[in-house]
Amino acid sequence: MSVEARIKELGLTLPSAPAAAGTYSPVVIIDKLAYVSGQGPIGSEGTLLRGRVGDDVTEEQGVFAARTVGLTMLATIKDQLGSLDRVKRIIKVLGMVNSSADFQNHPKVINGFSDLMVEIWGEEGRAARSAVGMGSLPGNITVEIEAILELTE
């Protein structure tokens, strides 16, 4: 089954791919690797999910924000590569959580993203990963995630 068919089977809807918000490329391809710039959580109304986990955002809302980043990233990848079927596997993920100083469950928050990738790609979606807390993120977004992907061609 193609990746795009799997997304449809799961009943997922991708948002519109966001435009680059600065002087950078959303995706850079070198050989068979795609480096995806940090993505934020764009909600169903096209607005960013904002807030600090442990202060004004619950852990569960943080998990939802990380899953939402996954959908945003998929939209960016599709826009940049033409098809998600070009992605063979997820290699590496860096998940950054906008969190209070005493919040310690960053890996659980980023599981929102990782679980989505495994739902779509199976074991090929299970990546090496870092999940860290940040004192702030751009625009007070809840989560930012970047990734390295292996391409089929």
The residues spanned by each domain of the chain are 3-11+37-151
End-to-end CA gap in the chain: 18
Closest CA to 33 of 131, 123, 146: 146
pLDDT at 43: 85
Distance CA(74)–CA(68), nearest Å, equals 10
- pLDDT score of 149: 98
pLDDT (tens digit, 0 to 9) for every residue of the chain, 153 residues total? 799 999 999 999 999 999 888 999 999 999 999 999 999 999 878 899 999 999 999 999 999 999 999 999 999 999 999 999 999 999 999 999 999 999 999 999 999 999 999 999 999 999 999 999 999 999 999 999 999 999 997
Q: Distance of CA 141 to CAs 16, 50, 70, 86, 105, Å? A: 18, 4, 14, 29, 17
> Which of the listed CATH numbers 3.30.1330.40, 3.30.450.20, 3.40.1170.10, 3.20.20.70 matches domain 3-11+37-151?
3.30.1330.40
pLDDT on residue 1: 79
Write down the pLDDT at residue 45.
Answer: 82
pTM to 2 decimal places = 0.96
Residue 42: its pLDDT value, please?
Answer: 93
Strand partners, 83: none
Q: Determine how β-strand 27-30 pairs with β-strand 33-39.
A: antiparallel
